[in-house]
Structure formats: C-alpha cells, structure tokens
Structure 1
C-alpha cells in the first residue's frame, strides 16, 4: 500500500535552489517512493531570533510505502549523511531542512516524531507552499491569516543546464533516452538542454563508450573518441557560460556526464570513482553538479 505524505523543505546556505533540487533527487530515489507534486518556491523570513539569510522554501507531495519512522530515518540520512547538514544552532542556518507535515491521516506524538507537524499551523513558509499542492485545502486555509512571517514567491533567475536525455530526448548511444519525470514534468525551471556527445559530432545510435585508465574515451569497437568527447564538453561549457548557468543536472555514470561514479572502461557494468569529461570541465568552472 502506498501512503500519501506531505513534506516541507527549506534552505538558506550556499545555493538554496541547488540544495532543494539535490534533496528532491535523493527523495525520488527512496525505496517505493515517488514525488507526485512540487509547490512553487517561496522566499521567507527565518523562524526564530537568529540573524541569517532568508530561506527558500517549498513543499512536496509524495507517495511511499515507507512507514513513518522508516521515512524519518531516510530523511535524516539525506540531511546529514548525503547533504552534510550540521545541527549546531536551533533554528539556525542550514543547507537543507526536511520535515514531515502530514502522513495520510495519521496522528503520532513521540519524542522523535510528531505528525501532523506540531508547528505547521504557525508557519507561513509551510502553509503557503502546502496550499499549492494539498488535496484537502481546508487543512490549511483556516490558519493562513494567523500564521507568522513575511513570504513571497521566488523565481530562480538563471537557466539550469540539464542532460537532454533526462528530458526524454532520444540522444542516448542506443537511440533511447533516460527520461526523468522529476525534471520533465514536476520542476518548472528554465532548463537549458545539452548533449555533449552529439555536440562532439557522435552519431545516434553509436557504440557505447567508456573512459579507460589513460583517460582516453574508447568505444566498444576499440575506436578512440576522446576528441569528440572533449569537443562536446567545450561546447557544453561555452553554452553554459554564455547563459550564466551555475547548476548542472547530469546523467549519472556517463563517460561525458557522470559525477563521482563512472563505468570502469571494461564494458562489464563495473563502476569506479570518477567524473565524465564534461563534468570535469564544469567542475573546473565551479558549477554545482546534480547527478541523476
């Protein structure tokens, strides 16, 4: 059985939009979990008396088979282990904050978890995003006027670079794609779609290629296609810089777009630590990378 859950997310460190998208990516990959809706983004005043930057907040609706305490455990892993959140100051600055607001119609009250979230009625940064996506708006509307905190809609002003295959375009080596519902349907950014391999004049379809020990990119027929990959990476970087991008969402494990993990060059499916050619170019220019 899948359960409908509403989560609130916020960030006010580094690049909040990058942090939020990264959190979406991790949540979307939880076991038997799917993101169904994402609210608009809102710029909000910090809660509490700590001097800090404004937050960017949103809410998401998910469907999951994880039980409440299982979901809480996974959320804490995302915050702390995967995204490095430090819980040093109560209500202080944070790169990511994820709260369970509603889990079906359950009511839970323990030291570790309270559902519905005990503070949601008081916080505009929860109520306004929830109003965008919640099925039963009567859960929210009565509390809007009495909640505290200035809030305004936030539109990210820059384009976001994204691997074209993730948007459903058939540019994969075998003529297929790597469609991701999260980006093509749910997130409404100004995406700048790129395919470094076709930018490097490689055909569709084409033999698969992997990076080998000497940093050469070799396709499965034994042909050296390193120059094609480098040319595609340069063109991608040029397009990204001309459009003032700072975030790139890239196809995982790819010899062009892989981030932190790529195939080892043996065409056996084995993975090793490393980055694709385009990713290397982007990292040198301090782009923030999300692997999908």
Structure 2
C-alpha cells in the first residue's frame, strides 16, 4: 500500500538551491519513495531567530510504501548525509532541513513525529511551496492548503527564477 506524503525542504547556509536539488535526488532513489511533484524555490525570511540569512524553501510530494516513522528516518538520514547536525537549536541557521509535513490522512503525535506539521497553518514559507504542488490537498485537522495560504502574510516570500 502506498501513501502520498508532503515534505518541506529548506536551508540558509551555503549553496542551498544546489543542496535542495541534491537532497531531492537522494530521496528520489531511496527505496520505497517516489517523488511525484516538486515546487518552485522560494526566498523566505527567517522564522523565530531573525538574525540570520534568508532561507530557500521548497516542497515535494512523494508516493511512499514506507511507514511514517520510516519515512522520517529516511529524511533525517538524508539531512545527516548533507552535513546537518541537529544540536537542539530551534529556528537557527541550517544547511538542510527536511520536514514531513503530512502523511496521507494520518494524524500522528508522538515523541518522534507530529503530522500534519503542527505549525504549518502559520507558515507562509511552508504553505507557498506546498500550494504549488497541492493547493487542494486537505491537511487533516487543519484545512485545505490554498485556504490556509490565503490566511497568512506571504508578502516577504518570493519565488526564485
């Protein structure tokens, strides 16, 4: 059985666009994962700790036969392969960030994973790229992507050529 999942990608250190392209490539050849759609890249302001460079963000849709936690493990492994060290700092600068935004119609909230991502409805940097690939997707307990995007301020987020 396969599930459609949405993954948010971002970073703000080094050549982020090149790294995001490479990470998508790694995920595309990971057993049990098939990339089915990808968004444009967006330049977005930092969230939380604003004293850092702007981010580049994107989103992909995947069809996966992996369970939600196994998919999370694949994302974390990919982050590590690209030099990401999770040191406990929230909203800080990073080489690569891969977030499991939604996993089919599942609602999961345990010590390792929360999907749909609990703050997705507040974040233009997540919703803009997600709306590129799945504007009509309904995130369980949160609503339709296009409606969530219409409710946030995306004025400082710009698609990159």
Aligned-residue CA RMSD (Å): 1.4
- Pair 1:151-2:157 in alignment: yes
Partner of 1:249: none
Return the match for 1:142 from 135, 147, 152.
147
- Post-superposition, which runs of at least 4 consecutive aligned residues in structure 1 deviate over 3 A? none
**Which one has the largest radius of gyration?**
1
Shift, 1:26, TM fit: 1.1
Aligned to 1:7, the other structure's residue is in SS state: strand
Shift, 1:143, TM fit: 1.9
Partner of 1:83: 82
Shift, 1:18, TM fit: 1.0
- Unpaired segments of 5 or more residues in structure 1? 156-292
Shift, 1:128, TM fit: 0.8
Partner of 1:61: 61
Shift, 1:97, TM fit: 0.3
Partner of 1:281: none
- Unpaired segments of 5 or more residues in structure 2? 139-143
Shift, 1:148, TM fit: 4.7
Structure showing greater relative contact order (alpha-carbon pairs closer than 8 Å, 6 or more residues apart) = 2
Alignment partners' CA distance in 2, 1:79 and 1:8: 12
- Pair 1:27-2:27 in alignment: yes
5 Å matches for 1:1-292? Answer: 1-80=1-80, 82-88=81-87, 89-134=89-134, 136-137=136-137, 139-148=144-153, 150-155=156-161
Alignment partners' CA distance in 1, 2:96 and 2:153: 21
Aligned to 1:144, the other structure's residue is in SS state: helix
